[in-house]
């Protein structure tokens, strides 16, 4: 070519050089993109490995919330988010009532993705975790053991309280036993346990959300994909849906439908009927807030997202559990929480020999470590007094359907059980009287939670204790730490 024309030779060389430069530039751009994408992954992986090697990590509350379908219990998820606020690990767990199979794994993957989208749209920094299991306690135990990685694993299990558990008496015994097993398994796993009761309202909004749309979705969404024993659901409708529950399409439709309707109701008031077509779960609203009942539903959906001015948190610290009973109220007072800056009142048991002043001084010293003002420390006596007659009768009526009639039925309450646990029962009933006496007007009540013993505490009796400790009160959390000191949280 050079012999033919030096001009053609130069043109060919120039073309080749340009092509070579272009190829090298594209390769450098591709590598740069890979580095940008890979950098967060590498740093996250390195951080987890570094945490695994450290032995003196500060305590962080890492919560696994058994919420089922979060779109049907937004208040429960919101409350847990008020505690975490993106500062530590938060996982929303859903046990899907299906046997393990290839189809079940497909369902869990899709439901998990939909849950993640819902959490993101609601502005909640949480991970979704699902597991298929027909037995709820086994599924919850699986989540508790497998969720997270390394030291980023849950150290607190949180569930909602099972309201209306005593309804229909012994017919609900299986549900009560499931709930009891979930809590007991967590204690045996040595993690902290939090049971949250939303007054007597409960959390499950499925029935009210179903009533929003006229016709249309009723049959499609009658499937009960989430029979978690932690909400106030209609047990008759639950039993009637057993045949249809657990189908692949049913589970996906239920989650997507409640996500859609939840957002439609909550957004209709704020956006005045505007719809967002970009997200496939937020379709054009079928409903607008037109009457008082609908307005109440919107308020309930956003109850724990609405700031409370000059709120009050009452803490009944009755056992040393490592300090978690005080840590959670402390976190709920931080900026971003609906109870930001709330007044904190701490109630503790006084000494039997009337050394109240000395007890108050010792507790005030401990409270300084939690950065809690000691001016609202109250040392209360009278815990060892017998409960009143009306309280005793109320409790007796509560457990009456679950008393053993002499046939020796499993999980029923025998006379021997009541006799052996008479002192504990009397103490919890007396505590319930004191809590109602002092804390009925507060915005949140925190009470140290009793620990059951598998061999001696029948499930209905234990749930009855929790019922009495939280009945007729504002929103209440029953808390029990695992005795691991949380003081390092402030380091």
Question: Do 236 and 346 belong together in one domain?
Answer: no
∠ CA(54), CA(58), CA(59), 5° rounding? 120
Say if residue 6's pLDDT is above 60. Answer: yes
What residue has token string 């007991």? 184
Say if residue 213's pLDDT is above 60. Answer: no
Question: Do 244 and 181 belong together in one domain?
Answer: yes
Interatomic CA distance for residues 479 and 195, integer angstroms:
7
How many angstroms separate the Cα of 3 from the Cα of each of 6, 17, 449? 7, 21, 96
Say if residue 80's pLDDT is above 90. Answer: yes
Question: Do 297 and 327 belong together in one domain?
Answer: no
Spatial neighbors of 157 by CB under 8 A, at least 6 apart, are 63, 64, 66, 140, 144, 182, 183, 186, 189, 191, 192, 193, 194
In the prediction, which pLDDT does 174 show?
92
Interatomic CA distance for residues 73 and 79, integer angstroms:
10
Q: Which of 482, 472, 17, 395 is nearest to 200 (CA)?
A: 472
In the prediction, which pLDDT does 35 show?
54
Question: Do 419 and 456 belong together in one domain?
Answer: yes
Helices 422-439 and 459-470: crossing angle in degrees, nearest 10, is: 20
Say if residue 220's pLDDT is above 70. Answer: no
The half-sphere exposure of 103 on its side-chain side, counting CA atoms within 13 A, is: 10
Domain-embedded: residue 136: yes
Domain-embedded: residue 36: no
Please state the pTM of the whole predicted model: 0.78
The answer to which of 171-175, 244-248, 273-277, 477-481 has the lowest mean pLDDT is 273-277
Domain-embedded: residue 275: yes
Domain-embedded: residue 487: no
Interatomic CA distance for residues 199 and 470, integer angstroms:
8
Greatest CA separation found in the chain?
118
pLDDT in tens, 430-469: 999 999 999 999 999 999 999 999 889 999 999 999 999 9
pLDDT in tens, 128-174: 999 999 999 999 999 999 998 888 999 999 999 988 888 888 888 99
Work out whether strand 127-132 and strand 90-96 pair parallel, antiparallel, or are unpaired: parallel
H helix runs in 92-203, sequence order: 102-121, 136-146, 173-188
Q: Structural domain of residue 115, as residue ranges?
A: 63-305
Say if residue 394's pLDDT is above 90. Answer: yes
Work out whether strand 444-448 and strand 312-317 pair parallel, antiparallel, or are unpaired: parallel
Domain-embedded: residue 256: yes
Question: Do 254 and 116 belong together in one domain?
Answer: yes
The answer to which of 20-24, 125-129, 165-169 has the lowest mean pLDDT is 20-24
Domain-embedded: residue 479: no
The half-sphere exposure of 92 on its side-chain side, counting CA atoms within 13 A, is: 29
Residue pair 449/476 in contact (Cβ under 8 Å)? The answer is: no
Residue pair 436/472 in contact (Cβ under 8 Å)? The answer is: yes
Domain boundary among 305, 325, 353: 305
Question: Do 298 and 336 belong together in one domain?
Answer: no
Residue pair 254/225 in contact (Cβ under 8 Å)? The answer is: yes
Domain-embedded: residue 22: no
In the prediction, which pLDDT does 284 show?
29
Domain boundary among 272, 305, 338: 305
Burial 200-236 (b: 16+ CB within 10 A, else e): eebbbbbebbbebbeeebeeebbbbbbbbbbbbbebe
Domain-embedded: residue 19: no
Residue 402: both structure tokens together = 């679950």
Question: Do 230 and 316 belong together in one domain?
Answer: no
Domain boundary among 249, 281, 305: 305
DSSP calls for 383-418? TTSPPPHHHHHHHHHHHGGGB--SS--TTPBPHHHH
Spatial neighbors of 101 by CB under 8 A, at least 6 apart, are 132
Question: Do 261 and 367 belong together in one domain?
Answer: no
Residue 23: both structure tokens together = 């190829």
* pLDDT confidence bin for 19, thresholds 50/70/90: confident
In the prediction, which pLDDT does 355 show?
55
In the prediction, which pLDDT does 356 show?
55
What residue has token string 């915005």? 443
Question: Do 283 and 390 belong together in one domain?
Answer: no
Question: Do 83 and 130 belong together in one domain?
Answer: yes
What residue has token string 């008020």? 82
**Number of domains the chain contains:** 2
Question: Do 129 and 91 belong together in one domain?
Answer: yes
Question: Do 292 and 345 belong together in one domain?
Answer: no
In the prediction, which pLDDT does 136 show?
93
Residue pair 96/225 in contact (Cβ under 8 Å)? The answer is: yes
């Amino acid at each position: 070519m050079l012999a033919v024309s030096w001009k053609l030779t130069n043109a060919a060389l120039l073309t080749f050089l340009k092509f070579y430069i272009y190829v090298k530039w594209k390769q450098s751009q591709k590598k740069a993109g890979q580095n940008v994408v890979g950098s967060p992954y590498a740093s996250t992986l390195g951080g987890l490995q570094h945490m695994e090697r450290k032995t003196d990590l500060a305590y962080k509350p890492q919560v696994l919330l058994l919420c089922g379908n979060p779109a049907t219990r937004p208040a429960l998820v919101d409350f847990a988010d008020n505690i975490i606020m993106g500062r530590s690990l938060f996982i929303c767990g859903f046990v899907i009532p299906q046997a393990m199979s290839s189809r079940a794994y497909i369902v869990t993957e899709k439901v998990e993705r939909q849950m993640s989208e819902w959490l993101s749209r609601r502005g909640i920094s949480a991970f979704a975790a699902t597991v298929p299991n027909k037995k709820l306690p086994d599924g919850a135990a699986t989540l508790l053991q497998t969720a997270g990685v390394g030291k980023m694993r849950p150290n607190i299990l949180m569930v909602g309280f099972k309201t209306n558990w005593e309804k229909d008496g012994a017919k609900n015994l299986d549900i009560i036993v499931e709930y009891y097993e979930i809590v007991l398994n967590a204690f045996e796993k040595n993690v902290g346990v939090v049971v949250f009761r939303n007054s007597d309202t409960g959390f499950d909004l499925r029935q009210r959300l179903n009533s929003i749309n006229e016709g249309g979705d009723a049959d499609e969404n009658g499937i009960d994909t989430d029979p978690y024993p932690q909400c106030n659901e209609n047990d008759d409708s639950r039993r009637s849906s057993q045949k249809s529950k657990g189908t692949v399409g049913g589970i996906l439709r239920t989650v997507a439908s409640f996500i859609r309707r939840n957002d439609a109701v909550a957004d209709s008031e704020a956006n005045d009927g505007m719809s967002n077509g970009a997200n496939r779960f937020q379709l054009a609203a079928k409903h607008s807030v037109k009457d008082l009942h609908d307005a109440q539903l919107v308020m309930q959906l956003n109850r724990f997202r609405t700031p409370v001015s000059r709120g009050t948190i009452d803490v009944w610290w009755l056992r040393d559990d490592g300090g978690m009973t005080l840590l959670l109220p402390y976190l709920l007072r931080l900026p971003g929480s609906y109870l930001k800056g709330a007044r904190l009142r701490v109630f503790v048991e006084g000494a039997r020999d009337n050394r109240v002043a000395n007890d108050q001084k010792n507790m005030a010293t401990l409270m300084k470590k939690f950065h809690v003002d000691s001016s609202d420390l109250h040392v209360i006596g009278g815990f060892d007094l017998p409960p009143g007659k009306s309280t005793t009768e109320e409790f007796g009526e509560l457990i009456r359907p679950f008393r053993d009639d002499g046939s020796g039925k499993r999980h029923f309450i025998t006379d021997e059980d009541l006799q052996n646990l008479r002192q504990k029962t009397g103490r919890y009933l007396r505590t319930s009287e004191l809590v109602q006496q002092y804390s009925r007007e507060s915005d949140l009540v925190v009470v140290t939670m009793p620990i059951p013993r598998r061999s001696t505490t029948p499930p209905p009796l234990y749930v009855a204790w929790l019922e009495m400790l939280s009945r007729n009160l504002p929103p209440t959390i029953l808390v029990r730490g695992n005795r691991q000191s949380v003081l390092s949280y402030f380091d």
